[in-house]
Structure 1
Amino acid sequence: MEIHLDGERIEVPAGARLGDILPGRDVRCSVAVILPTLEEDAAESQEVRFVTSAGDMVVEMADPGVVSRLFRPGLAERLRLHWQDRYAAAFGPFESGVRPAREPGRYERGDVILGCGGYDPTQSYLIFARMRHTADYGAPADGGVIGRVVTGRGLLDRIAEGDRIIEVERIFRHADRSHAVITHDAAFQLEDGMQVISYVEGEVLGFGGDGIDTRVARSVEHFLLSVQSGRFLVDRSSSTHIADAHLVPTKVPAEFSGPRLEGTITVRTAGKSSGAVYIYTQGVSASPAHTVVGRVVHGIELVRFAGEGDLLAIRVEPEQFDLVGFTLAGAEEFVARRGVSLTADAAEGDRVVVGQTPATTLEVLAAGAVRVATEPSDHVISITLDEAAAPRSVTIFREVTGLKHHAVGKMPLVFRFEDVSLFKPKIGKGVGIIPENTPAGEVPAFTLAMTNDSRRGAGMVGIRTTPNAEFGPTAEPLTGTNVIGKVLDAGNLAGMREGTTVYVREVK
């Protein structure tokens, strides 16, 4: 049988099953299987073909309605190359309803922009961006990007004086009437002609062959952190997108607002879902509550058919560059593979990286160099956290120590007496620590706990080196103690002194 696996044709014996063609797949991850069919319907897509004197380009429109409103009969006759430079090529002029904002916009290679000359809508132009740049094209406040070239980008560099757009036409594509199947069953029976899409691949905004744009570094870093495990959990699925909300809530800066075309990846920057990552299956307009961080370059079919609860394998270029938690020796090996130079604050002994400058992947790759702060390994305490028993308390602990974003977190040691060590991480106002996983009997030695809201010292974190049946690790009664985990290398506690910063590493 012939199977199309992630775009490659492969031959498999009759009777083959899904597990036979994906032997190393994580069995928890869903794949899309598109069944072969002979009966098809023609369906109008969001894509438009621009037939030019230099060749054809296919543009995916952010709003399909733009085609009917803008590309009226006879328009193509006026779409001649009016001006060009290294950044863009403009066709026109023609009349449109554009409302210029009189401010510059930021554009990526392949963006198609509706702007106007002299802020006059009767002198409007279709502008094709040749490279990443910032410019004022007399576009609306949202930047005026009405689409993106998805086929024929090489033509952008070949357009020359005298070229014109001959025709603008909607593209019709065949819609498969049979249902695609989403499954993670390795025993799924394959049939001849099936298409199997096993993963999603994305590329981030600001990273490409024409250089690295660090202006989007922080929002892109959040996205890279979200998919660091190579997994995307579909917490929400709608007709226009899927979303992974496992890092909600997180404050993410709004660095680049643009149209959310099919395949666009964004992070929500405002509201209850701030920090959620979205992948779009249909084009929608730009939103000030979303910042664009990348786009899908493979596997959009898997995104289209995935539902709530599906776990998707995802690959992203570039890989996140976060050295925090590495041993110094491990960090040296990692940077050597990435072609980046490393400077450490110390080199003697067995040391662990606890800080990195620059802090984001794009900034490190743009600079080609990174500096790290380190601590002796015996100054870093390894812990396990019991998320199943105390989910809210563990979430709060990861947030306030920094373990939510890095492999090593920190908290100040404020008090030590006899067998108790107390830590006071900074917890924001209004954060409720409800009683959960409160012990009913003796608390074992080296239990990690947090004081809940039933006591005045709510938010205090403690470790006790001896068992106790009356008081918890924070020296509070058991009813005021939320057990969140345990310490694995108790010997490292001995050298800790009041007023110092204690580093913790979660072992999963």
Structure 2
Amino acid sequence: MISVTLDGTIVQADDGSCLKDILPNHNPTLSIAIIRPGVVSEEATRQYRIITTSGEFVIEIPDVRVTLPDPGDPTFNTSIHWSDRYAAAFGPFPADFQPARAPSRYARGDVLIGCGGYDKKRSYLIISRQEHQADHGSETGGGIIGRVIAGRGVIDRLVIGDQITKIERMISWADSTHTVTTTDLSLPLEDGMEIITHINIHVDGYSDSSIDTGIARSAEHLLFSLKSGIFYAERTTSTHCMDAHLGPLDVPQEQKRPRREGAVTIRTKGKQSGAIYLYREDVATSPYHTVVGQVTHGIELVRLIQQGTACAVITEPVGIDLRGMHLKDAIAAAMERGIEVHADTEEVSEDRVVIHQDPETTLEVLSEKQVRLTTMKNEDVIDISLDERNASRTVDIFRRFTGLKLYSVGMLPFFFTFDDVWLFEPEIPERINIIPENTPTATVPAQALAMTNASRRGAGLIGVRISENAEFGPTGEPFEGTNIIGRVIDVEKLKKFKEGEIIYIREVKE
């Protein structure tokens, strides 16, 4: 038998087995990190694993001169002395510092040394559960010695009676000659091999017991970008790997913090705005990056993944977007997550489609534990399919300015109709250059959806033509001015709408 470690779990396999034998459902296009057994060098890190009776968490202490109390020292009371919604404190134990006798501000995950009654002989190791301001009897500057980088759910579960059972310094295994990434599932297994199949990302502000909505919008962008379960490493450097497959998108600056190894950020300005960054090592804080989460599993994959490849990713939490779903299915999906639903109708059936949800972001929905849904009859929502393969640039523009880039339901202002043509006029700025792409040559098929390109004055106009035409495109322009972007499936529904109305559209795969 062969013994391997698969995503942290020991797995037994028969002699002669390969990767596909233990990963029968793995997508063969996604990279896996392999750490082969062999002699590797041990390098001490600045990270410590703190094991408690409620689980373990990892903290990082930047200053090498800082030491933690020893659980084996009889002068250290390893139990929680006090705990509230803001922090939990282990101790007391004797320490050597001068209390500042002044309040300081602390972020979620900060680790500090404070004391009771300004008596440093009664000091405590304090873990901040959420952002707050307090006088914890710490030294000038707040007494912060480090930050929790993994296991934040554990610090939320700590209660009176819990104890620290062990504190150990973590080791980095640093021999790259025994580490590779592969998509070859026929790779033979070796005894002692370590296999990492995916990356886990924990969103800041999320825990089982409390939700901080301070980064709700940027977190929603992260969850939306990774909802396919795939991270595309379009660019890799010595410090990070980047996924920008959605193209430029506006993301607010909500949390500026140091970008440490394992941090997850989104760029907020520049050509790569909206791109997701996973960090391989510490880099300086940037005013153009908002920190949204932390890699809690698969940092080896982050370090090893090659440019131009992709890997599996799991986010915690999973995004909640009910738009585009039939109301019956949306209610079932929300109830499965413990979310109470308030719909604008009592007609719970597959005949109504969700076109809007409030709150709009996942963290806000989870915080309120309820969601309000706006619906529309299925007969009033028009299904379309888009030809991303042949008109990728124009399809991207269409999605951006109809809302389909971010949501499952979009909107189109109905402009005008004549003969068998329906025209729509989304607000596309003149600066958007719609280059000719996927222009027809012989005939335009019936139900074709098109956008007028920049070669004509009406650039940005959207049209659909019900019948086939060998002379003009769906927007009434010659072929050279027409970019075919897809097909309208429910063309018969168009006849009921009046000029000036907003039409709701839903993208489906054919």
**Residue 26 of structure 2 corresponds to residue 25 of structure 1:** yes
- Looking at structure 2, the residues matched to 396 and 213 of structure 1 have their Cα atoms a distance apart, in angstroms, of 33
The alpha-carbon distance between structure 1 residues 462 and 178, as it changes in their structure 2 partners (threshold 3 A), is: same
| Equivalent position of 1:380 in the other structure | 381
Q: CA deviation at 1:259?
A: 2.1
> In the superposition, relative to structure 1, how do residues 433 and 105 fare at CA in structure 2: closer, same or farther (>3 Å)?
farther
Equivalenced residues, count: 477
2:506 partner SS: strand
Residues 464 and 104 from structure 1, CA distance in 2 versus in 1: closer, same or farther, beyond 3 angstroms? farther
| Sequence identity percentage | 43
1:67 counterpart residue number: 64
Q: Please list the CA deviations of residues 455-493 of structure 1 after superposition, one character each: whole Å capped at 9, or x if unmatched.
A: 111100000112222211011111111111111222222
Describe the superposition over 1:26-78 as per-residue Cα deviations: whole angstroms up to 9, x where unpaired. Answer: 111111111000x2223242336899xxxx996324x5xx436x78xxxxxxx
8 Å contact from structure 1 (residues 18, 187) kept in 2: yes
User: By how many angstroms is 1:130 displaced?
Assistant: 2.7
Aligned to 2:336: 337
Q: Distance in 1 between matches of 2:397 and 2:291?
A: 28
| Aligned-residue offset at 1:170 | 7.6
Secondary structure in structure 1 of the residue aligned to 2:330: helix
Shift of 1:287: 2.0
1:240-389 to 2 correspondence within 5 Å? Answer: 240-348=239-347, 350-389=351-390
Match of 1:67, SS? coil
Q: What is the root-mean-square deviation of aligned Cα atoms in Å? A: 3.8
Matches within 5 A, 1:8-407: 8-37=9-38, 39-47=39-47, 59-61=59-61, 66-67=63-64, 86=84, 87=86, 107-109=107-109, 111-112=110-111, 128-135=126-133, 146-148=146-148, 173-348=172-347, 350-407=351-408
Tell me what 2:72 maps to.
none
> Which whole-Å CA distance do the structure 2 matches of 1:113 and 1:275 have between them?
33
Letter of the 1:185 partner, please give it: D
- Of 433-442 and 338-347, deviating more is 338-347
Q: What secondary structure does 2:41 align onto?
A: strand
The residue type equivalent to 1:343 in the other structure is H
Seen in structure 2, the aligned counterparts of structure 1 residues 418 and 219 have a Cα distance that, compared at 3 Å, is: same
Q: Is the Cα–Cα contact under 8 Å of residues 113 and 139 in structure 1 kept in the other structure?
A: no
TM-score by length of 1: 0.83
Instruction: Tell me the CA shift for residue 249 of structure 1.
Output: 0.9
Contact kept in structure 1, 2:260 and 2:283, CA below 8 Å: yes
Q: Distance in 2 between matches of 1:429 and 1:104?
A: 50
Judged with a 3 Å threshold, the aligned counterparts in structure 2 of structure 1 residues 470 and 324 are, in CA distance, closer, same or farther, namely same
CA contact (8 A) 1:202 1:298 kept: yes
Q: Which runs of no fewer than 5 residues in structure 1 stay unpaired?
A: 72-79, 96-101, 116-124, 161-167
- 1:427 corresponds in structure 2 to 428
User: Match for 2:209: what amino acid?
Assistant: D
Task: Note the alpha carbon deviations across 1:130-160, whole angstroms, 9 max, x for none.
Answer: 311233789999x978543658976997999
> Is the contact between residue 57 and residue 155 of structure 2 (CA under 8 Å) also seen in structure 1?
no
CA distance in 2, matches of 1:228, 1:126: 41
Measured in 2, the distance between the counterparts of 1:276 and 1:418 equals 44
With 326-335 and 348-357 compared, the bigger mean Cα shift is at 348-357
Q: Distance in 1 between matches of 2:236 and 2:441?
A: 41
Give the residue type in structure 1 aligned to 2:497.
Answer: M
Distance 1:171 1:191 in 2: 25
- 8 Å Cα contact 1:201-1:299 kept in structure 2: yes
Between the aligned partners of 1:287 and 1:488, the Cα distance in structure 2 is 46
**Would the alpha carbon gap of residues 344 and 199 (structure 1) be closer, same or farther in structure 2, given more than 3 Å must change?**
same
Query: What amino acid is aligned across from residue 198 of structure 2 in structure 1?
Result: Y
Q: Deviations over 1:210-261 (max 9, x none)?
A: 3011121111111110111111111111112211111231111111122222
Change (3 A) 1:28 1:149: closer
**How has the CA–CA distance of structure 1 residues 174 and 126 changed in structure 2, closer, same or farther, with 3 Å as cutoff?**
farther
Q: CA deviation at 1:274?
A: 1.1
Aligned to 1:74: none
- Give 3-state SS (helix, strand or coil) of 2:178's partner: coil
Give the aligned residue type for 1:215.
Answer: G
Q: 1 CA distance for matches of 2:229 and 2:4?
A: 25
